[in-house]
Amino acid sequence: MKEAKIKIQKFLGQSFGHHEFQEDEDIFSLGFVNSMFAMQLVLFLEKEFQITIENEDLEFENFRSINAMSSFLEKKMHILAQN
């Protein structure tokens, strides 16, 4: 999932170029995320990793940090591989 982390970090960096995100930084508590950006982040993850993010997936814990998103993606991809 190192590649996923790099892609997420790059996306965040393009959106907020003045900040170099660490993998465990809480992007919500840092004040980077508003409702519009949250939607953009979800769309980016769906498109980039070819997954569908369901309503039940929309929990802060899944999107709080690069590590959290990577872990979330790993779980989603594991579920897809089983189907």
* CATH code of the domain containing 16: 1.10.1200.10
Total domains, the chain: 1
Phi, psi of 44 (to 5 degrees): -60, -50
d(CA 83, CA 74): 15
CA 70 to chain centre: 7
Range of the domain at 1: 1-81
pTM score, whole prediction: 0.90
pLDDT for res 83? 73
pLDDT for res 8? 96
pLDDT digits (tens, 9 = 90+) for 1-15: 799 999 999 999 888
pLDDT for res 81? 85
Mean per-residue pLDDT, 36-55? 96
pLDDT digits (tens, 9 = 90+) for 54-72: 999 999 999 999 999 999 9
